[in-house]
A and B are shown apart, each in its own frame.
Chain A
Amino acid sequence: MASTPRIVVVGGGSTGAGVARDLAMRGADVTLVEQGNLTHGTTGRMHGLLHSGGRYAVSDQKSARECIEENRVLRDIASHCVEMTGGMFVKRPEDSDSYFEEKLQGCADCDIPAEVISGERAREREPHLATDVDKAISVPDGAVDPFRLVVANAASAQEHGARIETHSKVTDLLVESGEIVGVEVEHGAKSGDRVHGVQSGRETIRADHVVNATGAWAGRIGDMADLDVAVRPSKGVMTIMNVRQVDTVINRCRPKGDADIIVPHETTAILGTTDEEVEDPEDYPEEQWEVDQMIETLSELVPMLADARSIRSFWGVRPLYEPPEVGSEDPTDITRDYFLLDHEERDGLPGMTTIVGGKFTTYRMMGEEIADHVVSKFGMDADCRTADVSLPGSEEFSVLRDYMDEFGLRSPIGRRSVERLGSRAEEVLGTGEPNPVLCNCEGVTRAEVRDAISQAGADLNGTRIRTRASMGNCQGGFCIHRLAGELHPEFDEATVRDSWDDLLQERWKGQRHALWGNQLQQAMINYALHATTQNRDHDPATQPVDFAAFDSGPGSDRRLGSDTVGEAADGD
């Protein structure tokens, strides 16, 4: 097998996972390196819209065509990650009529099935739509779960022999005699199996070719070999509503604008988004007014949003790229297209290719193009099969069945589990063991959690993205301790505690931007629960406890130390 090329893919987002799967299926020896967990970057912080292409049908027809093509492919190969909700571009009275016509024409030009429907029909489909919406274009938009899709791509890559390393950061590129020959990696130091793959320490991974799929971070990887990759990160905010106010994707039919899409996602609806250039993809301000403004603007389409409960908000950064000579002022003008930068051609430094820009919807196509490019360098003639072979979980399956009979699960819980697990449902749920629900909001059972832990190790965040546990209205307040409990006894107490704290923190971060009304009430209940039952307001277990200082009970002489508040305040 001396001829098998060794490829290192840097970045565990949709692009990296897609490239890794493609190359592994073609027989390359692939290692994927990701600094966080899978989807740690932009992929885990996007809107979840499976574009029909309608959005780009006027401004960027090439992207629009790619979207509709990939939209069809993903429905097929990733059926358990996709919900074909359908979408509408709705027009309010103040929105331009001629743009509406342009949009319709654009869809026709790009072969996007589109149909004009009256405001009345639109409201029949979506009863919460504003009463003054006058008409709409219906398009095949859908909702896609980025976590499940990336995890399935990684799993498929692994099945084809790839090595997946999460919590492992590339700290340097190895350059030898004018060529990039590998990467320097620092593996995560967290205890236990929290790292998917090797734990702790540095490693040099030599490679015949490196694929830089680090999205908004691509410039930083470039810097390691003095390559100039001018990514212009642009942030966008998204707000998650507690329930689905709409069941189809609602787009505002007007030229590019902020806050113009609502995507129904699993049990929730996600509002988005904005577009504002930032300096640093990891450190940028997250401001409440962005959330407020978005809710306000989208209430023009769905009025009940103004008073509905939101459970969290999050921001993501787009890895926008344009060739330096274009020089757009406004980030919304930067193309959504992707670019493949062959550093040999471009900078005279062989051994690495960078892929930047693009969209989640077209991740597979990007993967195919870069894999074509890489294999051609090694004279391999393997064809791309990623459009034809279903992802693990997306083989034939039905969600309509008697869940109680088959899995002993209550109907809505069984249904949600089967939707998440797809064709893996029997394997995961049919354990024959008692299978209580651990996350009540999202209907996640112990069997599903254990299956996720077997993949993600002690990283509960990894279990979260696989199962949706802790992503419902209590935001983990009532289930994270149960999830943590499942890590024991395989992992020791310190690891469990660490992982439990991490997930609580992660959930708290997003809720900070939803603290009014019901979510504030929820946060207070979570706090009270955690303080009173888990001693989270002051945890003595993290410090050595002086047990000897405790009173040994009635009838004994020993008292608490004389400096205790109790004694001082007693006054007698």
Chain B
Amino acid sequence: MSDSADTPTEESFEPTEPNTGEEFEPVQVFPDEGTMDLRPGADSCTKCSTCDTNCPVAEVDDEFPGPKFQGPEQWRLKQTDDGDEFAIDDSIMDCSNCMRCDDACPSGVPLSQMHNEARGEYVDEQMSKLSTEYWRNRILANYRTSAWLASKVPRIANVAMNFGPARWVMEKTLGVTSEREFPAFATETFSEWWAAQGGAAGSRERARDARERRGEPLDADKKVAYFHGCYSEYNTPEVARALVRVYEHFGYEIVVPEQGCSGTPMFANGMLDDARRHAEVNVSSMADLVEEGYDAIASCTSCSLALRQEYPELFDIDGIEDVAENTFESIEYLRIHEDVRGALQDAEIEDELAEEFAYHAPCHARNQGLERQAVELFRDLDGVAVEDVGDSCSGISGTYGWKDEKYEKSMAIGEEMFDHMEDVESTTGMTECPTCSMQMEHGTGYDIRHPIELVAAALVE
């Protein structure tokens, strides 16, 4: 045993996984209900600071201590005794949850899990439930609820929400910046459209027709459950409609199960209870479908990331692992199973979409290894060019850039992306993330599209 090559830890060492043993499952040791013990996650940290150099907030905000502190250091220093009302440093609320640190860490430290847990504890234990900050964050995090309301009267909402004096009041009383324009609500939600198309039954028929046309077996096992997320439900149903058309074109039957918010804005605001409520709905409907052989797809990269990574990291819900393993981003899934690039080679774009696109890869796409997919996919499509505007963060990070006190930082982070977008010939941008798209539009005035819309334009229309 004196030879260190024989030490029991040797075989189990895996540089990209927290070196906390196969058995390691965070457990609850802290007195406050629900907080997991992530101290062992600090075992993988070598203090290399790669995470810090990749943090967009730390880059523009000297006060922000950075992910190394927020994650492994804060957790290692954390104490288990009850009653410390300052247990979590309040700088955790300055992290935008872009999760770039997660992706940057060469040692597999569970950084975003650490941030999410700490933020949840901070909001639960240390933030006053009577503070404006709490309610502002809660309202922003529960965008789905506001959007649902607004969608009942979209035209009025569009005017009212961006009505000058109303925005002034919102900024003064709630701390929601008046610099940004609220996104427009669609007059027809995706669900309304979907129902009008005959729902799942209609989809099955159209998929069968497509298979027949494509010379594929009629009973081919091509079934997906679509997680559309709040934004393409209420604001950009054109993205969801494009997805439906593209998938059906390739012979996929689509179902749209009951779903809530993915939880992304709730994680970022430390509202873990809210997030869990929605996660329970999502997991329970997705898990049944996964069992029946469906794969889950999402057109928003933050939604797919939530289902894949944050859910199993933060919650213990029946079927959560199966759902996580069978969830994909929509372009990613197509690229795995279909020769989309080949199909696009033979296609051509002529109409208004014949453009050069300024493509921004969302941080959450980066975390799933998807940051090059759009550039690669459209390389040989005639009539368009997709120009990567670099690997910076857009700066909005969901609700972050909507907060009055974060707005300037958000724009400072976005600066690099805006600059590169301006260098692109046209005035059209492309990204998979709805809030990145808001930021891109806000910073440059460009019109922003989702890659699935371009696929639809090339192959279906």
> Which residues from chain A sit less than 8 Å from chain B, CB to CB?
126-128, 242-245, 247, 267, 287-289, 292-293, 295-296, 303-304, 306-309, 399-404, 410-416, 440-443, 472-474, 477-478, 515-518, 521-522, 525
Contacts and interface: CB of A to CB of B under 8 A. Distances in A.
B239 to A, nearest CB: 41
A516 B13 contact: yes
A287 B90 contact: no
Contacts of A473: 42-43, 45-47, 76
A517 B79 CA distance: 26
Nearest to B65: A410
Nearest to B24: A304
Contacts of A287: 2
A245 to B, nearest CB: 7
6 nearest interchain CB pairs?
A307-B21, A412-B77, A309-B43, A127-B27, A411-B89, A243-B39
24 contacts: A127-B29, A242-B76, A247-B29, A267-B77, A292-B2, A293-B1, A304-B21, A307-B8, A308-B21, A308-B43, A402-B86, A412-B73, A412-B78, A414-B86, A415-B77, A415-B84, A472-B76, A473-B42, A516-B10, A518-B44, A518-B46, A518-B107, A521-B15, A521-B107
A326 B274 CA distance: 70
A295 B8 contact: yes
B2 A288 contact: yes
A89 B24 CA distance: 24
Chain B binding site: helix, strand, loop or mixed by DSSP?
loop
Q: Give the residue among A308, A411, A414 with the most B Cβ atoms within 10 A.
A: A411
Instruction: From A245, A309, A472, A477, name the one whose CB has the most chain B CB atoms within 10 angstroms.
Output: A309
Nearest to A127: B27
A440 B71 CA distance: 12
B69 interface: yes
A410 B43 contact: no
B43 A243 contact: yes
Nearest to B77: A412
B86 A242 contact: no
Interface string B23-56: 1100111000000010110111111100000000
A288 B76 CA distance: 27
B31 to A, nearest CB: 11
A516 B40 contact: no
B12 interface: yes
B9 A517 contact: yes
A441 B47 contact: yes
B7 interface: yes
B57 to A, nearest CB: 15
Contact of A412 (B20, B27, B74): B74
Nearest to B106: A521
A243 B89 contact: no
Given A410-B65, A410-B69, A477 B76 contact: no
Contacts of A304: 20-21, 23-24, 40
A308 B4 contact: no
A517 B19 contact: yes
Contact of A525 (B28, B40, B47): B47
B80 interface: yes
B40 A288 contact: no
A245 B39 CA distance: 8
A416 B87 CA distance: 11
Contacts of B42: 242-243, 473
B173 interface: no
Given A288-B1, A307-B9, A307-B12, A242 B79 contact: no
A410 B3 CA distance: 43
B21 A306 contact: yes
A440 B69 contact: yes
B86 A400 contact: yes
Given A400-B83, A477-B47, A478-B47, A518 B19 contact: yes
Contacts of B9: 306-307, 516-517
Contact of A292 (B7, B13, B46): B7
A185 to B, nearest CB: 41
Contacts of A402: 86
B270 to A, nearest CB: 15
Contacts of A306: 8-9, 21
B40 to A, nearest CB: 6
A442 B6 CA distance: 31
Contact of A307 (B3, B19, B79): B19
Given A304-B21, A414-B86, 14 more contacts: A127-B29, A242-B76, A288-B1, A289-B2, A292-B6, A307-B21, A308-B19, A400-B86, A402-B86, A412-B74, A415-B79, A516-B9, A517-B13, A521-B107
Nearest to B13: A517
Contacts of A403: 86
Contacts of A521: 15, 46, 107
Residue of A401, A416, A517 most packed against chain B (CB within 10 A): A517
A267 B80 CA distance: 11
A403 to B, nearest CB: 6
Contacts of B43: 242-243, 308-309, 473, 518
A128 B23 CA distance: 10
A553 B68 CA distance: 40
B85 interface: yes
B88 interface: yes
A289 B1 contact: yes
A307 B24 CA distance: 9
A244 B20 contact: no
A126 B80 CA distance: 11
Contact of B88 (A399, A411, A442): A411
Contacts of A296: 8
B338 interface: no
Contact of B23 (A303, A412, A415, A440): A303
A525 B46 contact: yes
B91 interface: yes
B292 interface: no
Contacts of A443: 73, 77
Contacts of B47: 440-441, 473-474, 477-478, 522, 525
A348 to B, nearest CB: 49
Nearest to B74: A412
B47 to A, nearest CB: 5
A91 B377 CA distance: 61
A400 B107 contact: no
A522 B85 CA distance: 34
Contact of B73 (A288, A441, A516): A441
Given A247-B29, A287-B2, A295-B8, A307 B76 contact: no
Contacts of A522: 46-47
B376 interface: no
Given A292-B8, A416-B77, A441-B73, A128 B27 contact: yes
A130 to B, nearest CB: 10
B219 interface: no
A304 B20 CA distance: 7
A412 B85 contact: no
B461 interface: no
B21 A288 contact: no
A10 to B, nearest CB: 37
Contacts of B48: 525
A58 B43 CA distance: 38
Contacts of B3: 288
Nearest to A264: B80
A247 B2 CA distance: 30
